[in-house]
Amino acid sequence: MIEWSGLHSALDPFGPQAARVHGLWRFLWIVSLAVYVLVIAALAWAALRRRTPAEADPTPRPAAEVAGPALRTTIVGATVATVLILFVFLVVDLATGRPLTAAPRGGRGALEIEVTGHQWWWQVEYPSSRPDLRVVTANEIHVPTGRPVVVTLTSTDVIHSFWPPSLVGKRDMIPGEKTSVWFQADTPGVYRGQCAEFCGYQHAKMAFQIVAEPAEQFERWMARQRDSARTPADSLALRGQEVFLATSCVMCHTVRGTPAGSRIGPDLTHLASRRTIAAGSLPNTRGALAGWIVDPQSIKPGTRMPSNQIEPDDLQALLAYLESLK
Partner 1 sequence: MTTQAVRPGSTATAPDEAEVRAALDASWGRPVGLLGWISTVDHKDVARRYLVTAFVFFILGGLDAALMRIQLARPENRFLTPDQYNQLFTVHGTTMMFLFAVPVMTAMGLYFVPLMIGARNVSFPRLNNYGYWVYLIGGVLLYVSLFVNSAPDTGWFSYVPLAGPGYTPGKRADIYAQTVTFTEISALITAVEIIVTVFKHRAPGMTLNRIPLFVWAMLVTSFMILFAMPWVATASLFLAADRLIATHFFNPAEGGDPMLWQHLFWFFGHPEVYIIFIPALGMISSILATFTRREVFGYPVMVLSLVATGFLGFGLWVHHMFATGIPQLGQSYFTAASAMIAIPSGVQIFCWIATLWVGRPRWTVPMLYATAFVVLFLIGGLSGVMVASVPFDLQVHDTYFVVAHLHYVLLGGAVFPLFGAFYYWFPKITGRMLDERLGRWQFGLFFAGVNLTFFPMHYLGLHGMPRRVYTYLLESGWGDLNLLATAGAVTIAASVLLFILNVVRALRAGPLAGNDPWGGETLEWLAESPPRPYNFAFQPVVQGRAALWSRTPDAPVVVGLRTDMREVLVTTVMDAAPDNRHRHPDPDRMPFVAALATGVLFISLVFTPWGLPVGALLLAVPMILWGWPNEEDNEKQRRQERETVT
Partner 2 sequence: MRGATRALAAAVVLAAATALSACERETRRFSEQPPAAAPVSAVVMSDLQPGPSTPDLPMRSAYEENAWAVGEGKRLYGAFNCSGCHANGGGGIGPPLMDEAWIYGDAPENIFATIVEGRPNGMPSFRGRLGNQQVWQLVAYVRSLSGKVAKDVAPGRSDHMYVSPQEQETRDTTPVRSSTPPGAVTP
Q: Which of residues 142-201 bind partner 2 (CB under 8 A)?
A: 175, 201
Q: Which of residues 38-67 bind partner 1 (CB under 8 A)?
A: 39-40, 42-43, 45-47, 49, 51, 55-64, 66-67
The residue from 16, 117, 144, 165 that contacts partner 1 (CB under 8 A) is 165
Q: How many CB atoms within 10 Å of residue 248?
A: 14
Residue 219: what residue type? E
Residue 71 binding result from partner 2, partner 1, none, given CB thresholds of 5 to 8 Å by partner type: partner 1
70 binds, among partner 1, partner 2, none (CB under 5 to 8 A by kind): none
Please give the sequence-ordered ranges of beta strands (E in DSSP) within 78-187, or none if there are none. 111-118, 121-126, 135-138, 140-144, 149-155, 160-162, 171-173, 179-183
In 174-284, DSSP assigns E strands to 179-183, 189-194, 207-213, 276-277, 282-283
CB of 297 to partner 2, least distance (A): 3
Does 74 bind partner 2 (CB under 8 A)? Our answer is no
Residue with smaller CB distance to partner 2, 227 or 313 = 313
Please report whether residue 297 would count as binding partner 2 according to CB under 8 A. Answer: yes
CA-CA-CA-CA torsion sign (279, 282, 285, 290): negative
- The Cα–Cα gap between 155 and 203 comes to 14
- Name 118's bridge partners: 121
Interface pattern 124-163 for partner 1 (x via CB under 8 A): ---------------------------------xxx-x-x
Site for partner 2 in 222-281 (CB under 8 A): 246-248, 250-252, 264
Residue closer to partner 1, measured from CB, 107 or 302: 302
For residue 205, the partner it binds in partner 2, partner 1, none, with Cβ less than 5 to 8 A by kind, is partner 1
By rule CB under 8 A, what string of x and - marks binding of each residue 301-320 to partner 2? xxx--xxxx-----------
Q: How far apart are CA 25 and CA 93, in angstroms?
A: 10
Q: Decide: 121 and 266 in contact? Cβ < 8 Å.
A: yes
Q: How far is the CB of 250 from partner 2 (least distance, A)?
A: 7
Contacts of 22 (CB under 8 A, 6+ apart): 10, 11, 13
Which of 131, 176, 259, 312 touches partner 1 by CB under 8 A?
176
The candidate with the shortest Cα–Cα distance to 152, out of 123, 181, 174, 127, is 181
